[in-house]
Amino acid sequence: MAVTETRFLRACHREPVDCTPVWFMRQAGRYMPEYRAIRDKYSLLEICSQPDLAAEVTLQPVRALGVDAAILFADILLPLAPMGIELEFAAGEGPVIGNPIRTAADVAALRRVEPRESLGHVLEAVRLVRRALDGQTPLIGFAGAPFTLASYIVEGGSSRHYVKTKQLMYTDPNAWHALMGKLACLVADYLVAQVQAGAQAVQLFDSWVGCLGPEDYREYVLPHSRLILREVSATGVPVIHFGTGTATLLPLMKEAGGDVIGLDWRTPLDWGWDTLGGDVGVQGNLDPAALFAPRPELERRVRAILDQAGGRPGHIFNLGHGILPETPVANVKAVVEMVHGNCWLPISDC
């Protein structure tokens, strides 16, 4: 494997690296002209369902930015349709679900999904990307975590207060756990299938779990995320476990599992890592809005994060959440250069 391929994977295992690896959540997306050129012709779901398009979009930021990992282009909600959930992406509105799941009967009616059949196009994209990357850059697979998926399914789309989600949780915990159990089995199978198709690491996105306090996390989320993280870890690939607004959830997220825990920008990286303990890696945590700052201020912020990590093995540089649509590409590229310019070890020592 090339140095660039080992750099990210070594960091996932908390092994010394020549310099901190860097990639970005939503590194393929609207902020890139190459991506917009494809999106002008195809819908989001069309890109996700055509392996050659998904592979092309996955590769765009690898070529343009020189990041240390590719992440499969897909949407966390892709597994919902095969379950029987009517999903649409309304223009400018985000996902809209025609038949939100709110009762035990709704949960019971959800179909069991075999990802190798229903999501075969995603697995084919994994294979195409691996072939194209040719050992130069590792590929990360991913899925939404059960809580975050459940929040869309129950609310019927994006949410601000997650009231219907919490209402189901508190009012009918059996239905809640049945829903989370179905999602956990599906997500575990889906991630394992991605690994078998060639993904060299996976990230579990629990993007909205920060709307819960620790007690609710422990009771309603942890067992389901743990099931997934155990099954995926058994494949031997490293697992990144990510959420936002998780300052008070970090010890429980670690308990649920993951080789690397993703931190958002509200959690100072050193504080977060100390809270987690030294036996996991951390990923993060530049504020995506910092990519709109003038270059010297951006550089100061990148440097501050690297200083907080202090060269401890196990840091993967990333944002605290996904790249925003209007982000200047040049600033994203500059961050890669800043991080790579910060060498910890001569390459020969790795």
Q: Which of 89, 292, 311, 337 binds a second copy (CB under 8 A)?
A: 292
Nearer to a second copy, 96 or 132 (CB): 96
Nearer to a second copy, 86 or 297 (CB): 297
Q: Which of 109, 163, 234, 347 binds a second copy (CB under 8 A)?
A: 163
Q: Which of 33, 297, 307, 345 binds a second copy (CB under 8 A)?
A: 297
Q: Which of 109, 171, 307, 328 binds a second copy (CB under 8 A)?
A: 171
Applying CB under 8 A, does 347 fall inside the site for a second copy? no
Nearer to a second copy, 245 or 311 (CB): 245
- Shortest gap between Cβ of 147 and a second copy (angstroms)? 14
Q: Which of 9, 101, 119, 290 binds a second copy (CB under 8 A)?
A: 290
Cis amide leading into 285 (omega within 30): yes
Query: Where in the sequence numbering do the catalytic residues fall?
Result: 26, 30, 39, 75, 152
Applying CB under 8 A, does 324 fall inside the site for a second copy? yes
Applying CB under 8 A, does 152 fall inside the site for a second copy? no
Q: Which of 162, 220, 242, 344 binds a second copy (CB under 8 A)?
A: 162
SS3 per-residue string spanning the chain: CCHHHHHHHHHHCCCCCCECCECCCCCCCCCCHHHHHHHCCCCHHHHHHCHHHHHHHHHHHHHHHCCCCEECCCCCCCCHHHHCCCEEEECCCEEEECCCCCCHHHHHCCCCCCHHHHCHHHHHHHHHHHHHHCCCCCEEEEEECHHHHHHHHHHCECCCCCHHHHHHHHHCHHHHHHHHHHHHHHHHHHHHHHHHHCCCEEEEEECCHHHCCHHHHHHHCHHHHHHHHHHHHCCCCCEEEEECCCCCCHHHHHHHCCCEEECCCCCCHHHHHHHHCCCCEEEEEECHHHHHCCHHHHHHHHHHHHHHHCCCCCEEEEECCCCCCCCCHHHHHHHHHHHHCCECCCHHHC
- Shortest gap between Cβ of 267 and a second copy (angstroms)? 6
Nearer to a second copy, 109 or 289 (CB): 289
Residue 70 phi/psi, 5-degree rounding, is -95, 145
Strands 281-286 and 70-71, bridge-based pairing: unpaired
The residues with which 304 forms a beta bridge, in sequence order, are none
Applying CB under 8 A, does 103 fall inside the site for a second copy? no
Q: Which stretch binds a second copy (CB under 8 A): 21-29, 83-91, 156-164, 233-241?
A: 156-164
- Read off the tokens for 332: 């994203």
- Shortest gap between Cβ of 285 and a second copy (angstroms)? 8
- Shortest gap between Cβ of 171 and a second copy (angstroms)? 6
The whole-angstrom separation of Cα 273 and Cα 277 is: 6
Nearer to a second copy, 114 or 216 (CB): 216
Applying CB under 8 A, does 287 fall inside the site for a second copy? yes
Range 213-272, binding a second copy (CB under 8 A): 213-216, 245, 247-249, 265-268, 271
| Number of shown-chain residues binding a second copy (CB under 8 A) | 34
Where does this chain bind a second copy (CB under 8 A)? 161-163, 166-167, 170-171, 210-216, 245, 247-249, 265-268, 271, 287-290, 292-294, 297, 304, 324, 326
